[in-house]
Amino acid sequence: MSHEKFLGCIEACQACAVACDHCANACLMEPNVQMLVECIRLDRACALICQTAVTFMASNSPLTTQVCELCARICEACAAECEKHAHHHEHCRQCAEACRRCAEACRNLSIAV
């Protein structure tokens, strides 16, 4: 009946959304921005689905588990792309880490519920 069971996953999604939006903007400022186009596109998609998942969890909405499952998939795709650039760009490294943590939290939630 409450959003408390979601608190850990909400925090992971919030942190991931901020890391992705920050990474997207930081990528845009890099001299090699053309190498980072796919990273920017995935960052935006990932930030948005994470925020959507937060709202579903905080509202204890119907179909929250399904939103979190999809969120996990998009986080994994974003992490895989960010990891390619992680040794060159600290924002990509941090973003990949936040995405992996968020994907795990979302997967655990789908199994537990």
| CA atoms of 80 and 58, how far apart (whole Å) | 28
Q: Are 67 and 56 in contact (CB under 8 A)?
A: yes
Q: How far is the CB of 37 from a second copy (least distance, A)?
A: 5
Q: Work out whether 21 is an interface residue with a second copy (CB under 8 A).
A: yes
Residue of the chain from 34, 87, 111, 112 that contacts a second copy (CB under 8 A): 34
Q: Which residues fall within 8 angstroms of residue 44, CB to CB, at 6 or more apart?
A: 20, 21, 24
- Between 80 and 88, name the residue whose CB sits nearer to a second copy: 80
Nearest 5°: CA angle at 36, between 67 and 103? 25
- Between 18 and 86, name the residue whose CB sits nearer to a second copy: 18
Joined tokens for residue 34? 């053309």
Q: Work out whether 18 is an interface residue with a second copy (CB under 8 A).
A: yes
**Which of these segments, 61-69, 82-90, 94-102, 103-111, binds a second copy (CB under 8 A)?**
61-69
